[in-house]
Structure 1
Amino acid sequence: MKLSFYIKYSTAFGETLFISGNVPELGGLDINHLVAMEYVNEFFWKAEVEIDRTDFNKNPVKYKYYLRSQNGELIADAALDRAVDIAAKGYESFTFSDVWNHAGDYENVFFTAPFANVLLPQATKTKAGKTTGTTHIFKVKAPLLNKHEVICLTGAGEVLKNWDTEAPVLLSHDGVWWTTRLNLSEERFPLTYKYGIYNTKEKTFVAYETGDNRIIHGNTGAGHLSILHDGFVQIKNNNWKGAGVAIPVFSLRSKNSFGVGEFADIKLLVDWAAKTGLKLIQLLPVNDTTATHTWMDSYPYAAISAFALHPQYINLARVAGKKHQKLIGSVKKKQKQLNELATVDYEEVMKFKLALLKELFEEDGKECLASDDYKTFYEQNQHWLKPYAAFSYLRDKNGTADFNEWKTYSSYNPAQVNRLFTSSAGSRQVQFFCYVQYHLHLQLKEATDYAHKKGIVVKGDIPIGVYRFGCDAWVAPGLYNMDQQAGAPPDDFAAVGQNWGFPTYNWKAMQADNFAWWRQRFRQMSNYFDLFRIDHILGFFRIWSIPINAVQGIMGRFVPCIAVHYVEFGENGIWFDQDRYCKPFINDHILYDTFNGHADTVKANFLQGNDRGGYDLLPAYDTQQKVEQHFATLEQTPDNERIKLGLFDLIANVILFEQEGSQGQEFHFRIAMEKTSSFKNLIPHVQDKLRELYINYFYRRQDGFWRKEAMQKLPPLKEVTNMLICGEDLGMVPDSVPQVMQQLGILSLEIQRMPKDAAKHFFLPSEAPYLSVITPSTHDMSTVRGWWEEDQQRTQAFFNQMLEQHGHAPYFCEPWINRAIILQHLYSPAMWSIFQLQDILGMSETLRRDNPADERINIPANAKHYWRYRMHLNLEDLIKEDDFNGELKGYVVNSGR
């Protein structure tokens, strides 16, 4: 049996197309055995294979196209549904005519989970008419049709109605493809045709698709079937827009929660969103972060498991059911006390919830664990559930999550973990953690299912890192670089950078099993969420990696990164002095400028003279980690804090970092080099030459390299899930990042006060790309009202330029200003406008919080920030605010969202 494949794609010189399929003749879908296609002309490539049809009578042929670019990059066609049943009777040969599916095409977005499952109603169904002797099957996609609209086909020839729009061929719909089967054996070729839209209720032709006529070039005779995958109908597909609300689960407040927001409270948020016309709820990570049993665990991005849910979000009454309501009654007084607090008391909430959960487990655990539903959950999740339960038990038994300090089980051993589940000493304890996870799963699933029934989608959040002493690192330490810390370079929000403390990923090890851990992680997310935000998507290109002996993010560099070879300094007219560039530059002027009256104390206790007329740090204090450990033993006074931070500055006062293991051959520039005293003490000629190399290092030489890194990781991971993916692409963004995101159809994040164009002070919402999420603030920033009071000069510029107002800006962000900013975002062309709940309430004089400083969720510059913000209103009461809710809905609807 002969299969002929034609793909419409105009290649550039040096590009090649390949095909892969689930039959041996097409390489068995093995990316290492792609079948090269043959160039036909400037529009088409083809491939032909002969297969034995008897081997494939039961299974359809599945196939996929690939493009190898001029630089060797392999790019996959985005279509994941090319499959044809070749067992059709009476056919001895098949021709597949395809159109390349670019992942960045708008239309692909509408076939992702939030749209396919929730947001877009199913198109009007029509049945395909019976056709004798089918020669051609037409298949096309059209996601954005109105009610009663179907796709129709008309063209040259009798079968295609000679372009008659009064009675066109109507296509049937299977939920994805619009399809019709026709017998064109008597028609004259080439044959032109076009798709259109037809209203079945009015029985009228609505419009043709745009663009040139489509062409069928020839008929291949009896016994042959041609299948035309015509891609997308060419109609406007960038006019769907939605709005949403963003808030962490822990920040929700209801009359029935327990001092912290719970999964059950999401249902109330859904009710409010539905009432106000919002279509999306965005959450922060909901994974378990219980490492120390202190408020330090409130940081939602330090998960001890990339899969387990956080027990703080459990609703105790739902676990207890009617059978055990007496146990709930015993903590009603405490529940009322915690619920009345303005913020989350993390430690008290966890203390009481875990205590009561243990009581419920004693009463109900045996029956629950014996249920069929629990057994199914356990079977489907045991790959992460068993290690997590064992880790949690051992953490509590040993009094620390640092598995390196455990006397036993410090190294993960699956056999030992299995024994914990059967031993009399540990089985009950580990099963408790499984019991809790089961109920968390039920409650989150119930909440997200409820959202779907109300037409609301839920957006999750995947942190870029994992906790250093968490279950994932315990189970597979080889997947992480434990001698490094992930973070971010300095920016307007953190002058010395950020150090998140997470180990960085060992991408080579992860790639060895085709990113199995990441694949499992994405699949787990899809159990609950329709779309998700990749926290710091830049980490898939390169991560800001900080040595374990450093404290501040400013001591990091990008990894991977093409280093500067020492020869390059000479080639650029720079006399290379490794000690001068790599060691902290310290002289008396710098000391007195840094420490003022403490300079002599610092010289006497922390420094030693060198042969350059300056000073070196004593070996006991030559890293930030050593300095921090020293000052941790001293009294916490303002003077000691100033000396400690000053020593941090001295250690960071370098121009270059040596590449470890390069033996003085390769180096990396310290970020913000020009701000260092070391740089300022160089002669102007050397400064100029170093600046040229610095600019090349950060902004030119890495871009293609980083693009290649991302394209090795993101495409295979994106194929795992049908969730819509949004990337947090903020910070120091290489040129390759927007290119890759656009190519893969990943939505960008646009923030008005953080323009990506360095030449602009603010980003114009009206200039947002369609495939983007636009927001006036995120959880890492002050709210609109808080920001308005931070910098009066900047506020004034915003008032005049962005709001087009004359005169002096009000000192406080009045409701009309807050409203104007919200409306700018709602009328943006971006697919999604998402707002923090605080910013939405800021439009109301009566509903807004008194002090905007109390609305902030996180302060990135503070590594020990307590994440405890809660709504100041109950959701039940917010739902009853009919006037405000009606006003908000009017804004949302009138903006086309």
Structure 2
Amino acid sequence: MKVSFKIHYDTQFGQQLAVSGSIAVLGKGKETDALKMSHLGGGVWIAEIDLSKSRAKSFEYNYLLVDEGNGITYKEAGAPRVVEINKKLKKVVLVDAWNPYHEIENAYDTAAFDVIFKSNAPTVKAPRKSSKDTNYTFEVNVPRIHQDYVVKVVGTTKELGEWDIAKALPMQYDADRRLWTITTPIKASHHKLKYKYVLVNVKDKKAAPELEGGFDHMFDINENDPSIAVKFSDHRFTYDKHNWKGMGVALPVFSLRTENGLGVGEFLDIKGLVDWSVETGMRLVQILPVNDTMATYTWIDSYPYASVSVYALHPMYVNLEAIGDLKDKKKMTKLKKLKKTLNALDTVDYEAVMDAKMDFLKEIWSEKKASFFKSAKVKAFIKEQEEWLLPYAAFCYLRDKYRTPDFSKFEDFAKFDAKKVAKLFDAKSKVKDDVNFYVFVQYHLHAQLLEASEYAQSKGVVLKGDIPIGIYRFSADAWTAPHLYNMNGQAGAPPDDFAVNGQNWGFPTYDWDTMKKDGYAWWTSRMTHLSQYFQTFRIDHILGFFRIWEIPIDSVQGLLGQFRPALPLHINELENRGVSFNHDRFCKPYIREHFLGEMFGEDTDWVRSEFLEHKWDSAYNFKAAFDSQLKLQKHFDGLMAKKGADKERLERVRDGLYSLHNEVLLIPALGYEDGMHYAPRVTMDKSRTFAELTPAQQYHFYELYVDYFFKRQEELWAAQAMEKLPAIKEATNMLICGEDLGMVPDCVPGVMKELEILSLEIQRMPKDPSISFGHPGNYPYDSVASPSSHDMSTVRGWWKEDRGDTQRFYNEILGNWGEAPEDCEPWIAEQVLQQHLYADSIWCIFPLQDLLAIDGEVRRDDAEAERINVPAIKHHYWRYRMHLSCEELVKLKSFNNKLKGLVTASGRNTAY
């Protein structure tokens, strides 16, 4: 048996197509051994293999594009094709179509659209086969189809109905492969076969069929031989209608409010938000990260992006009643009273909620621990998750024992040892109940989030998660696998309009070289774990996969960071431009007498005598005790801890001293210890040290600055992302959205488009630096449109921040005449909503606060109380709660009907 491959692909010079498959002649999955194809011209590529000696019953394959110019091998998107080997056949001809990664319709093949487009395809009988004619198999992917429709194939031959749709050949749905397929004999009376696929409503005979758009599929019939089979894999049905678009709502789980809550949203409360989404025509619910962040047992742990485990879920989100009641009735009565008190609060009291939940969980664990491990579901959960679950439970026990998450203080357990950790769980262990308590809690959290996810799917609503870019420095992840992280650096983000000093998240950065050695197994494991609960997710700070902003370990703010990896500046570049390198002037904090008074006012003398030392007349250095921002932070923390301290004054002085540390032009490049390689300080042109250079020096420094940040790194960063992101994308079938805001390199849009990762379009953070606001009418289809995010004020809150911005937005973007109203009136919020609804973006996702803003009777009175996070505040308290319960939301019939009408009118509530 011979197998012939044929595919059309327009390549460029230096590019080669190849077939990679599961059998030896196709390389056995090894891309470097894939079968190279021959080019016939006109974009047609062919190859042939002989399987007469093969013992395989079937094989899988896909196509590769090998670019010899850049050394990159590009894969197709989607699952491999499958061929059954039939020894009775002389030849199989495979006529395929390339499945490009950058095709937006690939989104329809993801788990998200398994929820949106549910196929209840009826079984179709295959046509009778003739022993005299060649058999032709038609195979096409049609993910976007209504449950009342089936796919048929119609064409020039009698077997395909001779273009009469009423006589078109019905196809069968292969649920495992997500393909519509049919095999039929075709007589050789036709030299040119032309055909198309068509969608036909089987329940409503009057409904018009939907014929595939584009050109006819064509094939030359040269054979009339029953020992030859031809298979057409036509990739995807070509729609002749507009793309599908959907609407969703975003809200952190902790912000959910229900009538019987405990002062915080819980996983099972997601059901209420799903019910409201159904009422209003929305098909997606987006949440923030839900991992365990318990490190200090204070409100600081409310920050959801600093998890102590990338796998474990936060105990805050467990519903206690779903676990069971305590036998002690007095304690149950006490809990019910506390629930009423906490649930009446406007905001989340994180510490009170956590104290109440952990107390109850420990009580109920003591009652149920004897029977807990007898459950088959519990045993299955532990077996599936033990690789991360047991180390996490041990970490939590040790954190509690030593009253710190800093594992360097865990004494005998400071260095992770799997065998020593396993002994903690032994039947004879004195602490087995303490460590297994956290297994108990995680099991119930898993069960409840899974229940909420399955409920959402049953209602046709997609659940969207959020994956932080970093890990917490003192986490179970860092304890168990420190070799995967650079613990001597800090991850963050360069400055933007919302954090002018940059952001320092304090997370260690990743050792990507080490992660690469096992094919990014840590990331693929993380993605697989998430896919239990979510069908789509947002990658927080996707720019970190291109390059990360790494900040020195002794810095507090983010301005002294630099991108890693990066091609640094060599001092010869300065010399070649006529700027003589001066380490003291360019690399040391520039502190001069003439601006100290302006910065510190009446505190100038104290600052000068306490923190600085003379370098020469009118020039200063920091004293050794204060020669880093971290040393300053510790010093001022001590001053502010004293009784009666003027904290506002001390913070002002401290921040001024921080800014003096930032007064440098060049920073030693990471990975270079030779004193010859440097990175320019970000936003150096806004510094005093830059302002006091000569005009010629300013010109040359700024040229180098622009080259470093906006030109020279592009190829390097694109290659970095193309190594990491495909492995992460291929780990699951979830739809991916990347948070690509901030200082975005030019290479980012192209890479995201190539990998079909949706971009995030926020109106107040346009990708084009030449404009102040994005217009939803210009957003691409492969994007998520939103007016704001959890890191920003709501539309109503922003409206009051800058009168000039508000006025320009009111006139230029909304197209209104005259003076903008003082407040964001409901009709203005509705204009913003409608603009976004009519965007081309595949998803429009609004924070709940911005949706409620369109109705003066429904929205909260105080817009400021609706803000979730302020990025400029390092330890912000994340405590926002809905002012309405989910039950009340569902009952808002008039509002819900209005919102549903807006969503439906925009075309974002269609069945398929």
**Same fold per TM (> 0.5)?**
yes
- Range 505-514 or range 638-647, more displaced: 638-647
Aligned-partner SS, 1:544: strand
2:361 is aligned, of 357, 360, 365, to: 357
Aligned-partner SS, 2:209: strand
Structure 1 partner of 2:863? 852
Q: 2 CA distance for matches of 1:602 and 1:296?
A: 30
- In structure 2, what residue type is equivalent to 1:184? I
In the alignment, structure 1 residue 643 sits paired with structure 2 residue 646:
no
- In structure 2, what residue type is equivalent to 1:345? D
1:517 is aligned, of 512, 522, 547, to: 522
Structure 2 partner of 1:687? 698
Cα 1:873–1:184, aligned 2, differ >3 Å: closer, same or farther?
Answer: same
Contact 1:280 1:456 in 2 (8 A): yes
Q: 1 CA distance for matches of 2:797 and 2:559?
A: 27
Shift of residue 119, structure 1, vs aligned partner: 3.9
Shift of residue 821, structure 1, vs aligned partner: 1.1
Q: 2 CA distance for matches of 1:196 and 1:47?
A: 31
1:99 is aligned, of 92, 97, 106, to: 97
Aligned-partner SS, 2:436: helix
Aligned-partner SS, 2:559: helix
Residues 185-205 of structure 1: CA distance to partner in whole angstroms, max 9, x if unpaired? 524434333333444443887
Residues 211-248 of structure 1: CA distance to partner in whole angstroms, max 9, x if unpaired? 33322245454522222211112224652111111111
Q: 2 CA distance for matches of 1:677 and 1:35?
A: 61
Structure 2 partner of 1:492? 497
- In structure 2, what residue type is equivalent to 1:40? L
Q: How does 1:139-288 map to 2 (within 5 A)?
A: 139-146=139-146, 148-175=148-175, 176-184=178-186, 186-200=188-202, 201-202=204-205, 206-219=209-222, 221-236=225-240, 238-288=242-292
Residues 14-54 of structure 1: CA distance to partner in whole angstroms, max 9, x if unpaired? 11222211112211112343333222223122333333565
Contact 1:197 1:205 in 2 (8 A): no
Q: 1 CA distance for matches of 2:114 and 2:493?
A: 36
Residues 721-776 of structure 1: CA distance to partner in whole angstroms, max 9, x if unpaired? 11111111110111111111111111111111111111112111122111111111
Contact 1:554 1:652 in 2 (8 A): yes
Q: 2 CA distance for matches of 1:484 and 1:462?
A: 21
Cα 1:371–1:208, aligned 2, differ >3 Å: closer, same or farther?
Answer: closer
Residues 404-430 of structure 1: CA distance to partner in whole angstroms, max 9, x if unpaired? 122120111110111010142221111
Shift of residue 571, structure 1, vs aligned partner: 2.5
In the alignment, structure 1 residue 428 sits paired with structure 2 residue 430:
no
Residues 670-715 of structure 1: CA distance to partner in whole angstroms, max 9, x if unpaired? 1001011111111111111111111111111111111100000111
Q: 1 CA distance for matches of 2:834 and 2:60?
A: 50
Q: How does 1:736-747 map to 2 (within 5 A)?
A: 736-747=747-758
2:796 is aligned, of 785, 807, 814, to: 785
Contact 1:533 1:727 in 2 (8 A): yes
Contact 2:160 2:167 in 1 (8 A): no
Q: How does 1:297-336 map to 2 (within 5 A)?
A: 297-320=301-324, 327-336=331-340
Residues 435-494 of structure 1: CA distance to partner in whole angstroms, max 9, x if unpaired? 000011111111111111111111011011111000000000111111111111111111
Shift of residue 840, structure 1, vs aligned partner: 1.3
Q: 1 CA distance for matches of 2:155 and 2:248?
A: 43
Contact 1:124 1:148 in 2 (8 A): no
Q: How does 1:9-88 map to 2 (within 5 A)?
A: 9-51=9-51, 55-57=55-57, 59-68=58-67, 70-86=69-85, 88=86
Q: 2 CA distance for matches of 1:431 and 1:237?
A: 55
Q: 2 CA distance for matches of 1:757 and 1:701?
A: 20
In the alignment, structure 1 residue 290 sits paired with structure 2 residue 300:
no
Q: 1 CA distance for matches of 2:308 and 2:88?
A: 59
Q: 2 CA distance for matches of 1:288 and 1:313?
A: 10
1:818 is aligned, of 800, 817, 829, to: 829
Q: How does 1:529-568 map to 2 (within 5 A)?
A: 529-568=534-573
Structure 2 partner of 1:127? 125
Aligned-partner SS, 1:352: helix
Shift of residue 262, structure 1, vs aligned partner: 0.6
In the alignment, structure 1 residue 108 sits paired with structure 2 residue 106:
yes
Q: How does 1:303-702 map to 2 (within 5 A)?
A: 303-320=307-324, 327-422=331-426, 423-610=428-615, 614-635=619-640, 636-637=645-646, 638-660=648-670, 661-702=672-713
Contact 1:107 1:237 in 2 (8 A): no
- Range 157-166 or range 809-818, more displaced: 157-166
Contact 1:288 1:310 in 2 (8 A): yes
Structure 2 partner of 1:8? 8
Aligned-partner SS, 1:110: helix
Contact 1:317 1:325 in 2 (8 A): no
In the alignment, structure 1 residue 735 sits paired with structure 2 residue 746:
yes
Cα 1:731–1:204, aligned 2, differ >3 Å: closer, same or farther?
Answer: closer
Aligned-partner SS, 1:330: helix
- In structure 1, what residue type is equivalent to 2:775? L
- In structure 2, what residue type is equivalent to 1:714? L
Aligned-partner SS, 1:28: coil
- Range 578-587 or range 33-42, more displaced: 33-42
Q: 1 CA distance for matches of 2:567 and 2:59?
A: 46
* Number of matched pairs: 895
Cα 1:243–1:499, aligned 2, differ >3 Å: closer, same or farther?
Answer: same
Cα 1:287–1:237, aligned 2, differ >3 Å: closer, same or farther?
Answer: farther
Q: 2 CA distance for matches of 1:328 and 1:122?
A: 47
- In structure 1, what residue type is equivalent to 2:108? F
Cα 1:578–1:183, aligned 2, differ >3 Å: closer, same or farther?
Answer: same
Shift of residue 122, structure 1, vs aligned partner: 3.8
Q: 1 CA distance for matches of 2:652 and 2:838?
A: 48
Q: 1 CA distance for matches of 2:823 and 2:365?
A: 51
- In structure 1, what residue type is equivalent to 2:88? G
Shift of residue 209, structure 1, vs aligned partner: 2.5
Q: Is there any run of 5+ residues in structure 1 with no aligned partner, and where?
A: none
- Range 119-128 or range 413-422, more displaced: 119-128
Cα 1:500–1:293, aligned 2, differ >3 Å: closer, same or farther?
Answer: same
Q: 2 CA distance for matches of 1:396 and 1:146?
A: 53
Contact 1:11 1:42 in 2 (8 A): no
Cα 1:341–1:205, aligned 2, differ >3 Å: closer, same or farther?
Answer: closer
Shift of residue 124, structure 1, vs aligned partner: 5.5
TM-score (norm. length: structure 2):
0.95
Q: 1 CA distance for matches of 2:212 and 2:550?
A: 50
Q: 1 CA distance for matches of 2:673 and 2:136?
A: 63
- In structure 1, what residue type is equivalent to 2:234? D
- Range 878-887 or range 647-656, more displaced: 878-887
- Range 445-454 or range 389-398, more displaced: 445-454
Contact 2:9 2:44 in 1 (8 A): yes
Q: 1 CA distance for matches of 2:775 and 2:201?
A: 38
Q: 2 CA distance for matches of 1:107 and 1:358?
A: 49
- Range 145-154 or range 877-886, more displaced: 145-154
What RMSD, in angstroms, separates the aligned Cα atoms of the two structures?
2.0
Structure 1 partner of 2:893? 882
Contact 1:369 1:435 in 2 (8 A): no
Contact 2:17 2:63 in 1 (8 A): no
Cα 1:224–1:662, aligned 2, differ >3 Å: closer, same or farther?
Answer: farther
In the alignment, structure 1 residue 749 sits paired with structure 2 residue 753:
no
Contact 2:594 2:618 in 1 (8 A): no
Contact 2:837 2:844 in 1 (8 A): yes
